[in-house]
Amino acid sequence: MIKYLEKDNFYDVIKKGVYLVDFYGEWCSPCRFMSSQLEKLGDEYNILKVDIDKFEELFDSFRIMAIPALVFFKDGERKAELLGFHDLEDIKETYKKLEDE
């Protein structure tokens, strides 16, 4: 299921289970393409989209240097990240590894 962060409840949302957090910008062309790919995973995976312009402090706190940035969390703990564009197989593989831990 794809959710969009709308308020400062980031840690409440990701505290249980595996989450793929997509840090993106509305103005970022690669981010829009990545979003279209993530929509194909939306029903099978927990995906939280975070607009870096709305939640700049959160984005900065993770020291991410480029977008799109896909950061994987398990039970609230940062476990992995993929920077730039990645194909769906890379994303699925990373997510599955975390589910199997």
Catalytically annotated residues:
28, 31
CA distance 61 to 41: 27
- Residue 51 · residue 44 · CB < 8 Å: no
Q: What is the DSSP letter of 58?
A: H
Beta bridge partners of 20: 47, 72
